[in-house]
Amino acid sequence: GPWSDIVLGLLNGRYRDCEVILSKGVQIITRSLTLRHAVAIPSRYKDPDAVASRGFRHYFITPWRNHSAIGTADVMYRGNPDDFKITEEEIEALIREINESYPGAGLKREGVKLAFGGLRPVGKLARRYQIYDHQKVDGVAGLITAIGVKYTEARILAEKIIDLVFMKLRKGMPKALTAATPLHGGQIKRF
């Protein structure tokens, strides 16, 4: 993930350059702005920090447990993933842009119940997860790099990595339960 370049850098150049360029995503949870439907809000402003050149930002307001999840503000991230944090300026900027693009929101900083975010790869890696077997690529045995993109693909990415690990170890695979095991908190009565 976001640390792959740092970990691979420990091999003193004996690795395939994965060129992980990161985007910082920020979302907020507020009082409910929409009762039953998710909505997409086009921003009124061109995005000078756009990760992908789409012209204008779009924000999504999604109902979530009697609140609204709003985001994502994506900007390029340069720095160590260990230093990731969401700043007050980023929260205020997101609130301001939502209010300007959707005046009925009337959001205020004190109405933000939670701000969260993360780092994700952009560029060619942003389309689909990548798995690098460094034994095949660089001759480094026992090293596998996984770079994921979407939360919705995390389970299949984990399955493919575990399959590769057990194949390399020449051991029998234990029965996987992940395909039938819901994520914690996934027992949502009304979706």
Measuring CA to CA, which residue among 149, 144, 148, 189 is closest to residue 167?
A: 144
Confidence band of 32 (pLDDT split at 50, 70, 90)? very high
Res 5: pLDDT = 80
Q: Give Cα separations from 167 to 105, 139, 173, 182 (angstroms).
A: 53, 17, 8, 26
Q: Which residue has the higher pLDDT, 172 or 17?
A: 172
Tokens of 137: 């690529």
Measuring CA to CA, which residue among 79, 74, 64 is closest to residue 94?
A: 74
**What is the side-by-side order of every strand in the sheet holding 114-122?**
39-46, 56-64, 67-77, 21-31, 114-122
pLDDT tens for 33-71 read 987 888 888 876 555 555 455 556 788 999 988 999 998
Which 8-state DSSP code applies to residue 166?
H
Of 27-31, 94-98, 111-115, 178-182, minimum mean pLDDT range: 178-182
Most confident of 15-19, 76-80, 125-129: 76-80
Measuring CA to CA, which residue among 93, 89, 98 is closest to residue 30?
A: 98
Q: Is the pTM of this model over 0.75?
A: no
Is the peptide bond preceding residue 72 cis, with omega within 30 degrees of 0?
yes
Of 11-25, 73-87, 147-161, minimum mean pLDDT range: 11-25
Res 130: pLDDT = 84
Task: Please name the residues in contact with 65: beta carbons below 8 A apart, sequence gap of 6 or more.
Answer: none
User: Which H, E and C letters describe 98-150, residue by residue?
Assistant: HHHHCHHHCCCHHHCCEEEEEEEEEHHHHCCCEEEEHHHHHCCCCCEEEECCC
pLDDT tens for 131-165 read 888 888 778 888 888 887 677 788 888 888 998 99
Q: Name residue, tokens 């690098």.
A: 132
Mean pLDDT, the chain, rounded, equals 82
Strands 114-122 and 56-64: unpaired
- pLDDT greater than 90 at residue 110: yes
CA distance 13 to 10: 8
